[in-house]
Amino acid sequence: MTRMTGHTDGLRVKIFADGANVAEMVELAQDPIISGFTTNPTLMRKAGIDDYGRFVKELTTTITDRPISFEVISDDFAEMERQALALRDFGENVYVKIPVTDTTGRTSVPLMRRLAAAGVSVNATALMTLAQVREVASALAAGPPAVISVFAGRIADAGVDPVPVMEAAKQELRAHANLELLWASPREVLNVVQADRIGCDIITLTSDLLAKLALLGRDLEDFSLATVRMFRDDAIAAGYEF
């Protein structure tokens, strides 16, 4: 994989790689532009992961100098707590992803508060409203470093501009030095620029978006010409006639 250093000069937002391909994640760990890693059960299923414990152990044994977030997989709060404590014990760089609610909509805030008190670094995930940000921030403010992941891309999918939401979320977290705001589910490289402008701490990028970082700052006339050439080359390669 081509390193992305040089296309991100001047960015303050930290880039976390989002995925579940072990070989790719280990390779990305050699790239200084990658500040951390996240994964989730959906990405793991797509990557064909069939042994969660082995997956966690392999990554935490290989990547020890940057944060990695792993998600609990239960829908029962007591079992979530057990899994969170077990995941925490894999390494000091482990953050445990706790969904903001269970699948029936019951809040996970009391669980997050208990985990923070137990010294677990929580990555609160699947947030989409400012009310959720406030509640989660209150639960995690007195604990160790934690991340609040707001799914800006899905907010945009609902037809809502995520930038004002993320700006307001950042303001909510300014009083809490241990909490970082993560722009989750980005859809395009523009989101990296937007996250950086509003002072978002972290943005997660899947492999397809990491590859597109090479386009950041590209001259648009040059990009236009490259696009014209691509269309022409594809027409020739297809042997089209009219």
Tell me whether residue 4 is in a domain.
no
For residue 152, pLDDT over 80 is answered with: yes
Within-domain flag for 226:
yes
Domain count, the chain: 1
Mean pLDDT of the chain: 96
The verdict on residue 8 lying in a domain is no
- Residue 63 inside a domain? The answer is yes
Q: Which residues are catalytic?
A: 97
pLDDT at site 7: 67
Predicted local distance difference test score (pLDDT) of residue 9: 77
Please report the beta strands in 93-242, taking only residues with DSSP state E, as ranges in sequence order: 94-99, 122-127, 146-150, 179-183, 202-205
Whether residue 9 is contained in a domain is answered as: no
For residue 2, tell me if it sits in a domain: no
CB-based contact 148:124 (threshold 8 Å): yes
Distance CA 101, CA 91 (A): 25
In angstroms, the CA 180 to CA 58 distance is 26
- The whole-angstrom separation of Cα 202 and Cα 217 is 20
CATH number for position 53: 3.20.20.70
Beta strands in the chain (DSSP E): 14-18, 34-38, 68-71, 94-99, 122-127, 146-150, 179-183, 202-205
- With a CB cutoff of 8 Å and minimum separation 6, the contacts of 36 are 14, 16, 17, 66, 67, 68, 69, 202
- The closest alpha carbon to 15, from 161, 166, 174, 183, belongs to 183
Asked if residue 6 has pLDDT above 60, the reply is no
Give the structural domain span for 168.
Answer: 14-238
Structure tokens that stand for 240 in this block: 């089209």
The mean pLDDT of 203-218, rounded to a whole number, is 94
pLDDT for 127 beyond 70: yes
